[in-house]
Structure formats: C-alpha cells, structure tokens
Structure 1
C-alpha cells in the first residue's frame, strides 16, 4: 500500500481566502483567525501567526521570491494598498518562539486592513539581550611597573579595550553589531578607584615609570598585594541586512580578571662593591635584602 503524500507547507491555503484547520480558519488578508461554524472543541486558536514582510527589505530566506514583486493594489478606489507577506505559523504552546519555530504556511499573498508583524520590530525588541550574549573581549588592564611597584611612587595603569564587531543571524536576518567601549572604572585594590572615565591611559617609557604621573596612574600609600581590575561599559549599534546603524537601548558592562600588583618599599644603604663585583653584596638579586614589606 502506498504511503500517503504529506501535505505541503501551504496545504489548505488559497490566495485571497483562508487556510483552514480542523476548527479554526485564518484569513491571510486580515491577519485574523475565526472559529469555524459549528465548531465547539477548542476555546481558542492553538496557533500564532506572523506576517513575514522582510522580503521587501532584501531578505533571502523567504520560500517564494515572488513576494518581492507581488503587487497589492487597493480593493476600492482611493483605498489603501495591501502589504505583500508570507504567513508563518507557530504553536501557542511555544513561548517566545524563535524564527525557526515559524515555518511558512502560505505563498506570497496580500494583507489588507491590518498592520503586519514586522521582523525589524521583533529584532529591536530583543537586540539588547543578544548584545549581552556577544563574546566581547573585555580587554586587559596593564600596569607599569608590574608585577612589582613602589610605595609612594605613581604606578601607571592603562587599558587595551577596543571597539569590536560581530556578524550574526537573528530571526533569519543578517545582523551586524558593534560594541564600543565608552567609559572605564579602574579598581586599584586598596579601596581606591578611578572613574567612570573615558580615559584609556597609555604606556610610558620604562625609565619614567616611577616619576611620571598620568591621568590614570595611582599612588599606593602602603605596601601589600593588591588585586586590580578594570570595568568597561560598552555601548552598541546594530544594522539589519546592511541597513543603517541603529543604537542599542542599553549598555554592556564587563570586568577583567583580577591582576595582583605587589607594592614594595625601598631602603638605601652604602655598599663597597657593585653586584658585578660582589653578587652577594647588599641589595643584589638573590640576597636576603629587606626591601619588601
């Protein structure tokens, strides 16, 4: 016995009329579903519908490219033109359905008398959530000198954070996102912070580390080991299908892994030999010189 042929995605649909389920009828020209006459077995339509209009915005994943050229003239003189759409359907049992949950159930048709659901609006509603899930690199916090610095002298801090771009797919659309660092908060580990500030700091020559004070340097007043971090706030923009960049209404905040800096004190003494002449002389590397706290 030959197996029955499965229905096509748009089974029961005829352009300009309704596609029909066992109990409910959905009219693609109005975007509304109604109970079939005499049906009593379902309190509400178990499906939710989406009018896919993005084919007119340059999308490539519509089931029929005819949506790009379909004309929807007014039904009456002076009336409003219709909107070319492809209807998609998902069960209401799926909460917050994603694009893949909406298979097409019609070919291109004209929607009249109702505003279609716009995929761009859907993307705007969820873009901040997607922004927070991007693998944005928080950058690094650098210190000069490091890992050891001196009590009472300026320690130069700076960051390597940069703007980052990402290409992803949201609700079937190509989305380009940019995360741009805008403010930084330096936490020095001794209870002192700097920021939020737009200053990223900059590296200085090695021979000026302990004499040059920059906008982002810090002076430790006590010896010890201090965990330092950098917290950066990113703003974002996104564009859909190569459209204009749009601002993301919200920010992303990231903090670097703590980096420990050791603060030492200095002592001076008169010695007879250099370390070259006497490697065991006071203050030479490897000797038990009391230079640390």
Structure 2
C-alpha cells in the first residue's frame, strides 16, 4: 500500500485544506505549481506568506501585519476535484496527469480552485475564475519556484525574439530638402508562452516609447507617439507629430529605437510586471535628400530635348 502523506495548504485567507496524496514512482520533471500567489499573500504549512510587489519574492508575513491590498476572498483547493459536489466529478480530473517530480516521489493531486468571501463563515464555494477546470497541486513550497522565476524573468524577457517593427518614411527613398518627411513605426504588442522551471509562463511585450534618429544628428523622443501613414498627396505638404525636415542634401541613415515593457503570469495567474525594459533598434534606412531648383523655360522636353531640366541635360 502506497505511503500516504498529509499536506496542509492555506491560500490567501483562513481556509485550511487537507488532502491525502499517494507516493508513487513516476517519471521525474520539474514541479508544477498551479496557483502560488494571490494579492494578499500565501500561507504554507501554518506560515503566512506575502509577495514583495517589486522583486516577486515570497517572504514570511509578520504576525499582525496586513497586506497593502487586502483580498476580500478566501480560497481552497477541492482535492476531490469535484465541481459542485460528490456526485458530479469533473471529467477533466480523470484526464489530468500529475506525475511525481522525482523518482519515488509524491504525485500531484488534481484540484479545482474555489473562492468565497472571507466575511462568510460557512460559504458556498464557487470556481476561482482566473483558473478554469482542474489543475495540478504539489506538496512543495510555491514561493521557492515563483521567487526563482521572478529572479530570472527579466533576463528571459530580454532573450525573447521580439520583433522591433520597421521604420517607415514618406516619401522614400528620396525626399526634398526643407520639406516634411513623415516617419512612423510598425511595432506592436507581442505575446510568448514559455516553460520556466517546469512552470507555464505567459509573457507580454508592449511597445511603450520610441526614439526616432533621423541620421543628421537630430532625434525625436523618447515619445509614445508611433506615427501613422498619410496619403501620398500630402507627403510634401503635411507635418505630422513625427515629421522631420532635413536642412541639407545628402544620404542619412535613419533608425528607430523602441522601448518594450513586459508582464508575465505563472500558470494562468495574475499578470505581474517585469522589473526592467528592453530597447530594440531597427536596421538603418537610408534617406536620400535632394534639393529643388526652378527656372523659366520656353520649350517642353519633347519640343527641345536639350532644354534646361530635361534628362539629356542632367549630369551623368
């Protein structure tokens, strides 16, 4: 008969959950922590825990202290994995595999997370909406895993294949000296799903500011303005918030640097801010700045191919 181990888990309130899990030999893999935090902290094996909002680290909570944001709800894990009662077992529980994390170690238990108002003594529990359906619960300290993820998340964020977008100009590749040249970026919000330390992590990268470098020694930004395309008929007459006028002819390498901020969530948990940003710069785009000249002519180029301004008179 498998050895039985009793685990006590108290999440975000005063509701204590006891469940029995058989220890079996299974293929080892990283522990899966399906719910390791709530707004007002975490309590494991009789110790109240709180999460540092800046570092994401879990620390023991001092007796009598309160969270900056008090969660009005209490939580429990339905270890029988039943949605509403003993006769309505969720079919997803049978299909959910929660293997042990080490050879000969303890298997996880399929659970359904429930919530209820703290003010009610004997509440009617309802499903915790951020996590729908059964998930795995293991008898390890989630704080350790979550703190490790928080410590490395910025580095992983900066390794993501985030697309910086492109720098677009109107007109291109040639523009006129002294005239408005419209610049804009195509950078967009992007999402990624990773597995870190055995946990499912969802990351979101959001462009928040842009620095336009026009190649002639002038810049615009950082600014949240992304710019936008305008009709061709307005290219040489319309100034936008991201337009630039070159004062000298020449060839100028223009770029745009976009600053991305990020959030991450662990196992469908609430989104947490990443303490740091990522700057991505587009490859240079060469802008050819020309000048215009005016002259009075008597003939068209068809009438006189050697007339001023006709192709045959342009320097080769």
TM-score by length of structure 1 reads 0.61
Aligned residues: 205
**Structure 2: 5+ residue runs without aligned partners?**
6-29, 37-76, 78-95, 112-136
Report SS of the residue matched to 1:54: coil
**Cα distance change on mapping 1:116 and 1:264 into 2, 3 Å:** closer
**Structure 1: 5+ residue runs without aligned partners?**
1-13, 17-50, 71-107
Match of 2:109 among 46, 59, 68: 68
Structural mapping, 1:134-213, within 5 Å: 134-213=160-239
Structure 1 Cα separation of the partners of residues 138 and 177 of structure 2: 75
Identify the residue that residue 125 of structure 1 maps to in structure 2. 151
Residue 230 of structure 1: how far off its partner (Å): 0.1
Residue 173 of structure 1: how far off its partner (Å): 1.4
- Give CA-to-partner distance per residue, 1:138-187, whole Å, 9 cap, x none: 10111111111111111111111100111111111111111000000000
- Give CA-to-partner distance per residue, 1:70-111, whole Å, 9 cap, x none: 9xxxxxxxxxxxxxxxxxxxxxxxxxxxxxxxxxxxxx9967
Match of 1:238 among 264, 277, 290: 264
Identify the residue that residue 283 of structure 1 maps to in structure 2. 309
Report SS of the residue matched to 2:154: helix
Deviates more, 1:119-128 or 1:195-204: 119-128
Report SS of the residue matched to 1:194: strand
Identify the residue that residue 241 of structure 2 maps to in structure 1. 215
Identify the residue that residue 39 of structure 1 maps to in structure 2. none
Residue 279 of structure 1: how far off its partner (Å): 6.2
Residue 67 of structure 1: how far off its partner (Å): 2.8
Structure 2 Cα separation of the partners of residues 131 and 60 of structure 1: 29
Report SS of the residue matched to 1:138: coil
What's the Cα RMSD here? 3.2
Report SS of the residue matched to 2:108: helix
Larger radius of gyration: 1
Structure 1 Cα separation of the partners of residues 250 and 138 of structure 2: 73
Identify the residue that residue 101 of structure 1 maps to in structure 2. none
**Cα distance change on mapping 1:207 and 1:223 into 2, 3 Å:** same
Structure 1 Cα separation of the partners of residues 312 and 166 of structure 2: 31
Structure 2 Cα separation of the partners of residues 269 and 216 of structure 1: 33
Residue 209 of structure 1: how far off its partner (Å): 1.0
Identify the residue that residue 54 of structure 1 maps to in structure 2. 33
**Cα distance change on mapping 1:144 and 1:289 into 2, 3 Å:** farther
Residue 132 of structure 1: how far off its partner (Å): 0.2
TM-score by length of structure 2 reads 0.57
Deviates more, 1:277-286 or 1:225-234: 277-286
